[in-house]
Amino acid sequence: MPHTRAAMREVRAEGGWGVVNTGYCSIHPSSDDTPLGNCRMWDDEDIKVHALMVDAVHRHGALAGVELWHGGSGTGNRYSRMPLISASGISADTTYPGWINLTQSRPMDKQDIRDFRRWHVDAAKRSKSAGFDIIYIYAGMNFGPYQFLLPWLNKRTDEYGGSLENRVRLTREIIEEMKDAVGDTCAVALRFSTDELLQIPSESCESEAHEVISMLSEVPDLWDVKSSSWTTETASARFSEQGAQEPINSFVKPLTSRPVVGVGRFTSPDAMVSQVKRGILDFIGAARPSIADPFLPNKINEGREDEIRECIGCNICVSGYHDCIPVRCTQNPTMGEEWRRDWHPERIPPGDPDQGVLVVGAGPAGLECTRALGLRGFAVTLTDAREELGGRVTIESALPGLATWARVRDYRTNLIQSMGNVDIYRGSQLCTQDVIDFGCENVVIATGATWTREILSMTGRPAGELSGEAVFTPDDIMAGAELEGPVVIYDFDHYYMGSCLAELLRKRGHDVTLVTTASSVSAWTFMNNEMGNIRTRMIELGVNMVFENYLTGFSNGVAALASVYDGGGVSSVEAAALVITGFRKANDALYQELVADRDRLSDAGINIVRSIGDCHVPGAIVHAVYSGHECARTIDAGDSEQAFKKERPMIMV
């Protein structure tokens, strides 16, 4: 998606980031991660694709970097169908589903190693032709050269195996040959994982990680230090604080005169400055913070820190990678839409200030819609039945580990409250006549959704609701309902709610059994890299987990279960209380009443009535924010269908 990627990265350059990198960029068909979203530098035709991004980044004075990557045995080659290659034919990762292969890798012989070096050099030359300023060699996360560094992946007995000096040889050769190939117009950087090597003792240094840095100290022009684990590096805010990678990168700077960059899901400018001032890093690397706010550097530089759209660490961006689509963001609804819809995170077309818009509901959809409408200049009135704004965000951010999610509310309320064209009415429960009488030409209904007590049939379809005093929904628990233990949580929502409630109730002292129809707890969270951490948390808390079972009934203190496969293996779990975490129903009664009588709306001077967010279609918070933003952008577009730009493949003749 060259246009999509170029536009996305241009916005970051415009926002003040000093260096804007590609994602991991394959150097050869033997390193093919299709259908995942890696770019490639396989031949000269790829140069012009990258030049599009480089030119866009250079327009704003930033440097452009390319992360040249060979996956070794850590890729799939599903499209190219070439045999996997590695240092010794050993699989790099046998537990992460995305990297489990049905074929083993082939040990590289001397010709393979010569080819491997040549592929890096050829890709570096093409990168220079494309105009890149910084050319990376990716020697981390069990990829390519990194597999030669680890003694459990490198069992060679030639000059590329055995001693650390031999294991480092290939990395050194590639860096030196790339530097010779690109001259002094491009920097050659090493993206390097340290955490595993930090665990290996060294005779001459504190660890083999220290020794590698010392041996290659001045060879690369830049050190980019990171975790070896994709799931650790991208741990969510629920399981990791910002700056959490300091223990694995703080030792590097004293060992080299070259600049050092590192990541850590930094969201606070103070935390960034602290690491630089304390000599931990020279440069702050940031993927997720730049996704949430591409203009973060400019806002710091201009003294507008209170306007930063801080990353909440939900990892919806990571799920976009697994979904093989452009990155999405809960905080930044324009992410991935810069080219497709011509959306900019800081600029929005002006609207008619004489047009009024009534927004009913101040959850994530209503708040984002109000913020964007306010920026467009409309006269906006925001109402909510509650005294506290934020809707589900305010409620759910009180759950264990989700405190940062309140930033979805805080960022928007801070801006809305400073807008002279926005009025806010709290504690205002509006009925249909209230909306009619209000006198706004445009009405947006954002009244959210409610969890139901509906369960599934043995065919996986809705089977009606369970009733009873001991049957609860997540809404009940978050509203402070008191219940007796033991508790069964029946979770077929598969996202965070079931496990968060299990943690909450377990910390209150209840015995908890989490029953799910899936083969793992919170099964969808494989997509945002939380699943392993959630499973670990449940084990640590002593939550009993029952997988691949339907709930078939609940009475007399017993929850009845049956296998999802054939209904066999019927079992029961003692339960004084049952919490059903499955379906949500849109709170759309107000919307349906309004649109049921179009003549009445017309007589009242109401031109448009829209429902947004969970009121329109229940989903995750990212969907609600996007829905609110889209409504604000298009509310004056009439009934015309919005243009849908798409990347098109080139037909070779």
CATH number at residue 509: 3.50.50.60
Residues 6+ apart with CB under 8 A from 603: none
User: First and final CA of the chain: distance in angstroms?
Assistant: 21
Query: Which value, in Å, is the radius of gyration of the alpha carbons in the chain?
Result: 27
Residue 443 lies in a domain: yes
Residue 110 lies in a domain: yes
- Whichever domain contains 618, its CATH number is 3.40.50.720
- Whichever domain contains 102, its CATH number is 3.20.20.70
pLDDT score of 138? 94
Residue 412 lies in a domain: yes
The pTM is what?
A: 0.95
Does residue 409 share a domain with residue 545?
Answer: no
Split into its structural domains, the chain has a count of 3
pLDDT score of 566? 83
pLDDT score of 640? 67
For residue range 39-81, list pLDDT tens digits in order. 999 999 999 999 999 999 999 999 999 999 999 988 889 999 9
pLDDT score of 445? 98
Does residue 606 share a domain with residue 458?
Answer: no
Does residue 481 share a domain with residue 397?
Answer: no
Does residue 579 share a domain with residue 457?
Answer: yes
pLDDT score of 142? 84
Residue burial 441-476, b: 16+ Cβ < 10 Å; e: rest: bbbbbbbbbebbbbbbeeeeeeeeebeeebbbbbeb
Picking from 484, 343, 430, 369, the residue whose alpha carbon sits closest to that of residue 8 is: 343
Residue 156 lies in a domain: yes
Does residue 622 share a domain with residue 528?
Answer: no
Does residue 613 share a domain with residue 524?
Answer: no
Does residue 614 share a domain with residue 551?
Answer: no
| Residue 611: strand pairing partners | 445
| Alpha helices by DSSP H, 266-398 | 269-277, 288-292, 296-301, 316-322, 364-376, 392-396
E strand or H helix at 443: strand 442-445
For residue range 13-49, list pLDDT tens digits in order. 999 999 999 999 999 999 999 988 889 999 999 999 9
Q: Which two tokens stand for residue 426?
A: 């709290």
pLDDT score of 628? 98
Instruction: Report d(CA 616, CA 163) in Å as an integer.
Output: 62
SS3 per residue for 36-77: CCCEECCCCHHHHHHHHHHHHHHCCCCEEEEEEECCHHHCCC
Residue located via tokens 């928007």: 412
The segments of the chain whose pLDDT lies below 50 read none
What is the span of the domain harbouring residue 474? 453-584
Does residue 213 share a domain with residue 78?
Answer: yes
Task: Choose one of 235, 263, 291: the last residue of a domain.
Answer: 263
Instruction: Report d(CA 653, CA 648) in Å as an integer.
Output: 15
Residue 348 lies in a domain: no
Does residue 606 share a domain with residue 510?
Answer: no
Does residue 510 share a domain with residue 371?
Answer: no
Residue 202 lies in a domain: yes
pLDDT score of 183? 85
pLDDT score of 98? 67
Residue 33 lies in a domain: yes
Instruction: Report d(CA 318, CA 302) in Å as an integer.
Output: 30
Does residue 141 share a domain with residue 14?
Answer: yes
For residue range 238-285, list pLDDT tens digits in order. 999 999 999 999 999 999 999 999 999 898 999 999 999 999 999 999
Residue 37 lies in a domain: yes
How many residues belong to the chain? 653
Does residue 429 share a domain with residue 551?
Answer: no
Contact 197, 214 (CB under 8 A): no
pLDDT score of 452? 98
